[in-house]
Chains A and B, each alone.
Chain A
Amino acid sequence: MVDSDVRERPGRSHRGGPVLDLVPSKLRPPAARPGTIRRSSLIERLARDDSRPIVSVVAPAGYGKTTLLSQWAERNGQAFAWVSLDEQDNDPKVLLTYVAEALDAVEPVGGRVFDALASPVSSVPGSVVPRLGAAFSSMTSPVVLVLDDVHALRNSECRAALSVLADHVPGGSRLVLAGRDEPPLRIARLRAEGRITEIGQGDLSLSREEAAALLLAAEVALGPDDLTQLHRRTEGWPAGLYLAALYLREGGSLPGAAAAFGGDDRFVTEYLESEFLGRISRRQRVFLTRAAVLERMCGPLCEAVLDLPGSGAVLAELARSNLLLVPLDRRGEWYRYHHLFRDMLLAELQRHEPGLIPLLRCRAAGWCLQNGLPEEALEYSIAAGEVEQAARLAENLFLPAYRQARVTTVLRWLRWLEDQGGIEGHPMVAVWAAIVAADTGRPVEAERWADAVDRWQYGDAARADDPPAEAWAAVLRAILCRRGVKQMQADAGEAARRCAAAGIVAPVVPFLQGVAQVLSGDLEDGDASFQDAVGLGDVAVPEVLAEALSERSLLAMARGEWEQAGALAGQAGAVLRRVGIENALVCAVQARVAWHRGDVPAARQELISAQRLRPLLTYAQPQIAVQARIELARVHLALGDLAGVRTLMREVDELLNRQPDLGTLVGEAQALRARLSMERSPDVLRASSLTAAELRLLPLLATHLSFPEIAAELFLSPHTVKSQAVSLYRKLGVSSRSQAIAGARELGLLEG
């Protein structure tokens, strides 16, 4: 329902490609560089052991996990699909887009995967993961899918998705998860089934010979006893040995090196502080520590942030002379620190110049903004605590990010802003948040954000005018319909006036006007408004276009013009199919049209689709929620499915209880209820009696999350989840979770 005049970013279209701007360096293994030693025996072990589809590489920082895997990738052999994970991948749509893209480069995964990824309302466990899993398991060319730095993933949907993907590794392929702690897999089970190869700290520690090779590559020669001592002290920790080598190369003594490089990080950081940084030039020292605030760096960025001309040269020099910097592209333009060293340098900076850190980040934000990297600017602003700047950026970035389906990301920005009190001066942010929450079936959040908008609008009489925000606030009020149909009509009218005055073209406005008119009994004007919405075709968001066509179809049905109704419903369906998304109202209308032409299987199919989508239609959009359910109930009734009718009417009653002033819908509901009460026969518990709450639970049952974990996801008590699950099993006629998933898939309630 969201629309604006902001241009969409260029990129591949939904069908057959990702919509996100991908960072290419994340999809390439880091190039092997001189100075790293070959882990031949480990690589042979990995290459040989390919009966086990899962590989887990777990070790603390600095053990050479990435190096090992990139060396394996370079060895001639299978195709590798690589994703380097970071903080941004805590949005499941982002993570899975990268995974899909990485696999797609080896063998096309198909448009349906990217369709699901591109939709802001599609369910990750319900749609995205099953499609991606199916695509993965049907790949014919063997592939090694590597996900590096898995410990960066804290989001539970992301972690759950990886666990399910592990069940879909096709024969001959591998899934490799590397990180600092245990990957989010059912390790015990995989071990018992002999399906996992585990490489750990012990495997990655360097042997004495390997330690010698590393020192040699770093241009340090040690006698055998000294080597033994150093090796023992560092316990074969590659990073420790490497730092020791640097220290020795800079003229340090062996006893000092051995003392400083125990496997204990604490000593290493003290070493950094007192010795290594003390031995290099001041210029280099300032550069190294201050640049640690940057996620990734290039010459011009460093110059701007560090106020150090010639940073480009310093960067190149550092990259050439040691392994602290990892190149991110082949042109030598962008680099990042090795994670371990960044952590250490940042700690160093924190100790000595803490007050400088926000300033450096601000400068980074400024440079990114001026150089066409607004999202990075936003992330730096958030890190720097610059609320105003972040809020301004978020206002502009919100919509494009939402249109790329990155709901988790935008909500993270918004919640941070809310915590920092940044919403008050930036109402557009709150308006978008409310609309997104309403669209994604989160009514409590929608109301909370709407209250924030109200507070801004009516709280301070002396506040500055903000015509676009005021226009969209009116749109929001019309969507939420918190004060009934008459008020909705007034709000929609106000929205129309304000949008016209502010030069905003948004089809959702005539659409909402149409809905209000129809609910007030004004069918002709309503139809005209819907036609206006449809007429804004080029600007339209597909959902609004499809819903407007569906409403017109319903009006045609009411007039008895079934051919016209069928044509309009067909157009609505085509609009959605073009972008690969679904909508409950459109399903309802198509179900009615299918029933009317006698196509029972098609009608049933649409009812099933609508069932999947029903949890999204909440009291945050009461008019559409009630309307869609009434239309669905009509078809269920025609099919003799009383259980379905009763379930839907209960939900209608609940919605009308909360918002009784919904115009003509009230009468329609009453008529249906009266018709229903004439049915004397009971109906058994069956799939169509699944409540919205149970339908919301169903996709999560398809993950490997336990009931308490699911309860945490849904903000319910574990007892409630257990009762809902049992009720769900019963209605599907099964007695276990796996049977429930299989049954739901067979019925079409779950994909996969």
Chain B
Amino acid sequence: MNRTARFQDTLRRLAMIDEGFVQDEAGLGLGPAGTVALDAKTAALLQLGVSVAIGSPGVCLEWTTARALAAGATDDEIADLLLVIAPVVGLSRVVCAAPDVATALGYDIVAALEDPDGQ
């Protein structure tokens, strides 16, 4: 068994967004915001929207999408979210984000575009 150095552990767990690590070590609270006015699903969708808007990398988008699903969002709601924010964040942000969001929903866009039997 390889013993990994501490810095390697840190970087790897950040790169894959190890939730426990991020909360404990990076001090980023991932728990519910404690707000009453917005329910958990809305909150999660908002977080995804903002993630797209600031141009987050693929892993972040996949992670936020998975959390939205866990909060009860449906595939359609998540896809509609991209449409809804497009006028504000611009086309390129949304286009950039679509493949990673799709991956988190179990849809491989590249494969679909390549598929001779695809729709």
Contact = CB atoms under 8 A, between A and B. Distances in A.
B partners with A: yes
Contact of B66 (A680, A719, A727, A736): A727
Given A683-B71, A730-B17, A730-B19, 12 more contacts: A646-B69, A650-B75, A676-B72, A677-B72, A685-B19, A685-B66, A689-B69, A716-B108, A723-B104, A726-B16, A730-B66, A735-B16
Contacts of A500: none
12 contacts: A646-B72, A647-B69, A650-B75, A682-B32, A682-B71, A683-B71, A685-B70, A719-B108, A720-B108, A723-B58, A733-B18, A736-B12
Contacts of B106: 691, 693
A682 B43 CA distance: 10
Interface in B61-85: 62-63, 66-67, 69-72, 74-75
B40 interface: yes
A115 to B, nearest CB: 32
B56 interface: no
Given A677-B72, A682-B70, A685-B70, A717 B110 contact: yes
B1 to A, nearest CB: 8
A723 B13 contact: no
B9 A726 contact: no
A684 interface: yes
A271 B66 CA distance: 68
Chain B interface, DSSP helix/strand/loop, else mixed: helix
Contact of B70 (A676, A689, A726, A736): A689
Contacts of A720: 103, 108, 111
A733 B108 contact: no
Interface of A: 642-643, 646-647, 650, 653, 676-677, 679-685, 689, 691, 693, 716-717, 719-720, 723, 726-727, 729-730, 733-736, 738
A172 to B, nearest CB: 23
A647 B105 CA distance: 11
Given A693-B106, A723-B103, A682 B21 contact: no
Nearest to A643: B70
Nearest to B110: A717
B18 A730 contact: yes
B41 interface: yes
Contacts of B48: none
A723 B71 contact: no
Nearest to B14: A735
Interface in B2-17: 9, 12-13, 16-17
Contacts of B70: 642-643, 646, 682-685, 689
A653 B72 CA distance: 13
A686 B20 CA distance: 12
Contacts of B96: none
B40 A682 contact: yes
B78 to A, nearest CB: 11
A190 B18 CA distance: 31
Nearest to A651: B106
B50 interface: no
Contact of B9 (A646, A717, A735): A735
Chain A interface, DSSP helix/strand/loop, else mixed: helix
A729 B16 contact: yes
Interface string B31-51: 010000001110110000000
B28 interface: no
Contact of B40 (A676, A681, A729): A681
Interface of B: 1, 9, 12-13, 16-21, 32, 39-41, 43-44, 58-59, 62-63, 66-67, 69-72, 74-75, 103-104, 106, 108, 110-111
Nearest to B68: A682
A84 to B, nearest CB: 35
Given A650-B69, A693-B106, A735 B40 contact: no
A276 to B, nearest CB: 54
Contacts of A679: 72
Interface centre among B41, B75, B106 (most CB of A within 10 A): B106
A728 to B, nearest CB: 10
Contacts of A677: 72
A684 B40 contact: no
Contacts of B43: 682
Contacts of B1: 738
Contacts of A717: 108, 110-111
Given A726-B59, A735-B9, A684 B111 contact: no
Nearest to A673: B74
A685 B63 CA distance: 9
Contact of A726 (B39, B44, B62, B69): B62
- In the complex, the 7 A-B pairs of residues with the closest C-beta atoms, listed nearest first: A682-B71, A682-B40, A735-B18, A735-B13, A723-B103, A726-B16, A720-B108
Nearest to B20: A733
Nearest to B103: A723
A730 B63 CA distance: 9
Nearest to B58: A723
A646 B70 CA distance: 7
A370 to B, nearest CB: 45
Contacts of A735: 9, 12-13, 16, 18, 21
A105 B93 CA distance: 64
A677 to B, nearest CB: 7
B29 to A, nearest CB: 13
A727 B62 CA distance: 8
Contacts of A716: 108, 111
A689 B69 CA distance: 9
Nearest to B108: A720
A746 B40 CA distance: 31
A619 to B, nearest CB: 14
Contacts of A726: 16, 59, 62
Nearest to B12: A735
Contacts of A691: 106
Nearest to A725: B16
Contacts of A730: 16-19, 63, 66
A689 B68 CA distance: 12
Contacts of B110: 717, 719
A424 to B, nearest CB: 22
A684 B62 CA distance: 15
Contacts of B40: 680-682
Contacts of B13: 735
Contacts of A643: 70
Contacts of B32: 681-682
Given A680-B39, A689-B70, A727 B108 contact: no
Nearest to B99: A719
Nearest to A736: B12
A42 to B, nearest CB: 34
Contacts of B12: 735-736
Contacts of B69: 646-647, 650, 689
